[in-house]
Structure 1
Amino acid sequence: MAVTESQKPSMNQKLGFHDFNLSLICSITLLVLSSFNYGISDQAFASTQATNAFAKQFGDFDVESKTYIIPALFLSLLNSLKAGCQLFGVFIGSWISNRYGRRCCIFLMNAYAIGSTAVIISGTNRPQMLAGRSIHYVYLGMQLAVIPIFLAEISPAHMRGSMGVLYWLSVKCGGLLITGIVRVTSNNRGNSAWQIPIGLIFVIPVIVMLLVRFIPESPRWLLLNDRYDDAFTSMVRLRQTWAEKRSSSPASSTTISEFNYLCQAMSALRTAPHNVSRPQHFLSIFSPVHRSRTAIVILLLFFQQSTGQSFASQYGTLFVKALHTVNPFSVTLATNAVDITGILLCMIFTDYFGRKLFLISSALLQTAALLTMGGLGTADSTVTAAKIGIVAMLLLYSFGWSVGYAPLAYVLAAELPSPYLREYTLRVAYAVKLIMEFVISFTYPYLEDANEANLGGRLGFIYGTISFFGLIFSIFCVPETKNLELEEMDMRFAKGLFGTSKAESPDAEQHNRQTQV
């Protein structure tokens, strides 16, 4: 079945912010609230491990310094074993989401979070803390599998970039809030210094579990499962404006046009030659027509992690503490504030300037900051100015990462795969992301430890080189996806329209839409 330009929703029919209805606002708010708890969880663990009370509970007493020190092996396992559990969470979450729906996955993962948090907060020894923190990351892996996809599927095309960036903004806001709380509780002498911040993880899962059943299911997921009536009802709930609801008007022509386009696009994808042979088969993501987008998604998430993000987020507080310059908790707060500023800029302008410009700028800033950090790390370790410069470069790196790669890797990962293969593609891509996160997290304590490699700021040379390759990748390999429907990307990849100069010009774009299959 052909899908023509006349069947696609007009640019003039797109919803503006004033047309948002209560169902769409509540759905996005609930998804953002859930990802907010991701930031609370992640940064609660990262920040509390630098408190004296945590070191006393889980560290060893050093007679020479008369302080409690957390062994490098335990610290390494604490921040790296979670990656395998998070990967398992991605697989189980994508399976539940694909089989039983997005809402079901969100309900189950929040119920699971309550149990895993109870294990952590009651921990009194290293094995229990390792087990509790590791199993909790199954919950965060499930979040990773469902929240970005759900946001992409319910958002209008011309605002999908901003709504996708909102996911990572909420993560960082949650991290900023909990870091501020740790800054206050770190002065407590007892275990409450780390138990109070971690205990706050309980709150949001309860709220989300109570409310998730009231939001609409993803219309695209319902269409993929041939539930057309339910999909239309869900689409009406997500698109009908306040004025139409108050007047009890039937579905508007805009909503019907968008729904018909989705139905016809799904039908076209089902009958397309490259989808005829078992489109749900895992190996299809590596077929000639799909492998280019699979490679792009994998490399996006590879470069998102391999430039040292987990070093900055998981060990940033400890890294600054080892420099003996400024309060490490204050720097962590500043880092989160800088991150949020970068994400806000990306959210506001990404649907106007496009994804590609922000990815290139992000990779460029990361490369410059990391290589400069490496250069400063070669200075005399007693020079205070060099240490302050390293902290400044850490902040610049965090800003550069947050203004592009941090949020947009998830946005593009949800946008680029074929609708029938999205879960399979993301499983592989998230596996690569988490493997790299494990590698960075596990190796950092040995690279930084004074009795091991003792690299300090010279770590910037390692991560900066990888970031430079990410810059090359961003310039030459990443396609622009702004203002395109998710189904339209499948057609463009099938016809080889991405990656050509003609496809990026306005005249060529209009011509391509008129000749879509």
Structure 2
Amino acid sequence: MAALRRWSPMLIFTTFLLALSAFNYGFSDQAFASCQAMDSFTRQFGFYDAKTHTYKLHPLFTSLYNSLKAGTQILGVFLGGYISSQYGRRRCIFSMNVYALGSASVVISSTTVGQLLAGRALHYIYLGMQMAVIPTALAELAPGKIRGAMGVLYWLSIKVGGLVVTGITRGTSGIASNSAWQIPFGLILIIPCIVLTLIWFTPESPRWLLLRDRQEEALASLTRLRPQSASLRDIQDDFDAMARKVAAQMQKRRFKDLFTRNNRMRTFVVVAANFFQQASGQAFASQYGTLFVKKLKSVNAFSITLGTNAVDIFALIISTALSDVVGRRMLFHTSAFLETASLLTMGGLGTADSSNKQAKEGIVAMLLLYSFGWSLAWAPLVYVLGAELPSAPLREMTLQIAYTVKLVTEFAVTFSYPYLETADTPHHVDIGGKLGFIYGSLAFVSLIFGWFFIPETQRMELEDIDRQFASSSDEDEPTKVAYRVDAEK
């Protein structure tokens, strides 16, 4: 409660609006993922198989439907990073939501495979812009003592959006007409309309304004974000402290500065963390989870997807409560261990006879445990690291590289999965739950990476993290900062 007293109504309102925008990320993403398992969707965009007398989605369509988005999302990351850096966080949020209204309309009106693929690919430019601006804005607004929880709020909002839309798709999946998938897609339009209406009532990030030497505007913005009970002297002191810390970062930076002595370690950690976030098979679980469970023919696929999102939210609530108490590293280690154990167990169960119902149910249980473990840290806290570790002038460039690596890895997972699950198609294999061996091995490597490289930044201000990395480089100990927590006290 003491921490909440430092929150002004404007800070609460701004945080809510940013979380609402993130909510639409999860809503959009899971709408696309869930609707592809609907019978009406398969009839509209699939083909009729005369041998089985059923409609099927072509594996190439499924691969492109779930992987093309990675390429356009990279474009959105670069576009969002540029607009956010040059014109401010608010203008970036405004422009991406204007764009979302058009891209979502293309999806809703789709009647052909080409139109749907283009619509989803275009829509993910909007979601890429979200990745570029929302985590950074949350980190810049958050008081240092609760920045971890604020960072987790980004992914929690995404998962709440996913939970809501999976509940909707479970309800509409029984509709025989195209309304079954058009209704969830149509609801994507609601949040952009709300955000567009309210975003100009929020203040710009004071740190962004200071980095552009707009002192008076930064002070006015900080004043709006502080509670009314705060004295003008306290606000001025906070502003002076922030301005002093930002002053050292005012100079222009170039791409090669990402790899200087002061920055190369944090660049490596952020980029590698984004790789491992996806390498353990998250995209398989989130994008194909409904189809995967449907193929097992053991339990209701939409119910499991709904349960998976509920489990994710439970894990994120735990992460929110603990990230600023036990620290980032402990949660990363626990998360990677659960991922590894669940995926390797899934791989073992996948070796059982295909008619073994208990083994299939065990695979579903391991899918839920994996999702819980991933959402405990590797889902949300990678975004926290991305907002915390880079120095402010290099943050956009660092995240552009990191998110490119993340999305290329996601593309590899999503494009390859259909070819590992379609045994009745020539040159394809059907390894089922044995996928766990592949992703589980990579999850184990992420455990080792986290142990040796992920730093502890609990309760440290952004500028203090920058100073600690600089001082550790001066001492020729680039990873020393990973284990220092005294600076927050």
Quick one: which of 224, 232, 237 aligns to 1:251?
232
Confirm whether residue 172 of structure 1 aligns to residue 159 of structure 2.
yes
Task: Please list the CA deviations of residues 227-267 of structure 1 after superposition, one character each: whole Å capped at 9, or x if unmatched.
Answer: 0100011111111x2445xxxxx5241x2222111111122
Q: Report if aligned partners of 1:479, 1:498 keep a CA contact under 8 Å in 2.
A: no
Between 1:18-27 and 1:84-93, the stretch displaced more is 18-27
The equivalent residue for 2:286 is 313
The equivalent residue for 1:73 is 60
The equivalent residue for 2:135 is 148
Query: Aligned with 1:421: secondary structure?
Result: helix
Q: Report if aligned partners of 2:265, 2:479 keep a CA contact under 8 Å in 1.
A: no
User: What letter is aligned with 1:311?
Assistant: F
Matches within 5 A, 1:248-397: 250-253=231-234, 255-270=235-250, 279-397=252-370
The equivalent residue for 2:437 is 461
User: What letter is aligned with 1:153?
Assistant: E
Quick one: which of 405, 425, 438 aligns to 1:432?
405
How big is the shift at 1:320?
A: 0.3
Query: Aligned with 1:406: secondary structure?
Result: coil
The equivalent residue for 2:372 is 399
Between 1:74-83 and 1:490-499, the stretch displaced more is 490-499
Quick one: which of 431, 436, 452 aligns to 1:476?
452
Query: Aligned with 1:217: secondary structure?
Result: coil
Structure 2 Cα separation of the partners of residues 268 and 426 of structure 1: 21
How big is the shift at 1:15?
A: 6.5
Q: Report if aligned partners of 1:376, 1:457 keep a CA contact under 8 Å in 2.
A: yes
Quick one: which of 118, 121, 126 aligns to 2:113?
126
The equivalent residue for 2:182 is 195
CA change 1:131–1:505 in 2 (3 A) is closer
Confirm whether residue 410 of structure 1 aligns to residue 383 of structure 2.
yes
Structure 2 Cα separation of the partners of residues 251 and 52 of structure 1: 62
Quick one: which of 82, 91, 94 aligns to 1:107?
94
Confirm whether residue 237 of structure 1 aligns to residue 218 of structure 2.
no
Query: Aligned with 1:68: secondary structure?
Result: strand
Q: Report if aligned partners of 1:320, 1:391 keep a CA contact under 8 Å in 2.
A: yes
The equivalent residue for 2:465 is 489
Structure 2 Cα separation of the partners of residues 376 and 440 of structure 1: 21
Query: Aligned with 1:450: secondary structure?
Result: coil
Structure 2 Cα separation of the partners of residues 301 and 284 of structure 1: 20
Structure 2 Cα separation of the partners of residues 505 and 154 of structure 1: 21
TM-score, length-normalised on structure 1?
0.91
Structure 2 Cα separation of the partners of residues 500 and 283 of structure 1: 23
Quick one: which of 78, 82, 95 aligns to 1:95?
82
The equivalent residue for 1:86 is 73
Q: Report if aligned partners of 1:42, 1:175 keep a CA contact under 8 Å in 2.
A: yes
CA change 1:360–1:172 in 2 (3 A) is same
Q: Report if aligned partners of 2:274, 2:405 keep a CA contact under 8 Å in 1.
A: yes
Confirm whether residue 34 of structure 1 aligns to residue 26 of structure 2.
no
CA change 1:393–1:209 in 2 (3 A) is same
CA change 1:501–1:289 in 2 (3 A) is closer
The equivalent residue for 1:4 is none
The equivalent residue for 1:5 is none
Confirm whether residue 221 of structure 1 aligns to residue 194 of structure 2.
no
Q: Report if aligned partners of 1:83, 1:438 keep a CA contact under 8 Å in 2.
A: yes
Structure 2 Cα separation of the partners of residues 15 and 252 of structure 1: 20
How big is the shift at 1:268?
A: 2.9
Q: Report if aligned partners of 1:19, 1:242 keep a CA contact under 8 Å in 2.
A: no
Q: Report if aligned partners of 2:455, 2:483 keep a CA contact under 8 Å in 1.
A: no
Q: Report if aligned partners of 2:27, 2:188 keep a CA contact under 8 Å in 1.
A: yes
User: What letter is aligned with 1:114?
Assistant: L
Task: Please list the CA deviations of residues 322-378 of structure 1 after superposition, one character each: whole Å capped at 9, or x if unmatched.
Answer: 000000000000100000000000001111111111011000000000000001101
CA change 1:431–1:102 in 2 (3 A) is same
User: What letter is aligned with 1:251?
Assistant: L
Structure 1 Cα separation of the partners of residues 293 and 274 of structure 2: 26
User: What letter is aligned with 2:232?
Assistant: A
Task: Please list the CA deviations of residues 272-296 of structure 1 after superposition, one character each: whole Å capped at 9, or x if unmatched.
Answer: xxxx6xx421121122221100000
Tell me, which stretches of 5 or more residues in structure 1 are unaligned?
A: 1-13, 245-249, 271-275
Structure 1 Cα separation of the partners of residues 311 and 478 of structure 2: 33
Task: Please list the CA deviations of residues 456-502 of structure 1 after superposition, one character each: whole Å capped at 9, or x if unmatched.
Answer: 00000000000001000111111100111101111111111763399
Structure 2 Cα separation of the partners of residues 251 and 78 of structure 1: 54
Structure 2 Cα separation of the partners of residues 449 and 416 of structure 1: 42
Structure 2 Cα separation of the partners of residues 135 and 93 of structure 1: 14
Structure 2 Cα separation of the partners of residues 299 and 95 of structure 1: 23
The equivalent residue for 1:11 is none
CA change 1:173–1:217 in 2 (3 A) is same
Percent identity at matched positions?
Answer: 54
Q: Report if aligned partners of 1:310, 1:440 keep a CA contact under 8 Å in 2.
A: yes
TM-score, length-normalised on structure 2?
0.96
Q: Report if aligned partners of 1:20, 1:242 keep a CA contact under 8 Å in 2.
A: no
Query: Aligned with 1:351: secondary structure?
Result: coil
User: What letter is aligned with 1:459?
Assistant: L
Between 1:447-456 and 1:35-44, the stretch displaced more is 447-456
Structure 1 Cα separation of the partners of residues 483 and 72 of structure 2: 41
Structure 1 Cα separation of the partners of residues 482 and 385 of structure 2: 21
Structure 1 Cα separation of the partners of residues 482 and 375 of structure 2: 31
Query: Aligned with 2:21: secondary structure?
Result: helix
Structure 1 Cα separation of the partners of residues 422 and 267 of structure 2: 37
User: What letter is aligned with 2:322?
Assistant: F
Q: Report if aligned partners of 1:218, 1:231 keep a CA contact under 8 Å in 2.
A: yes
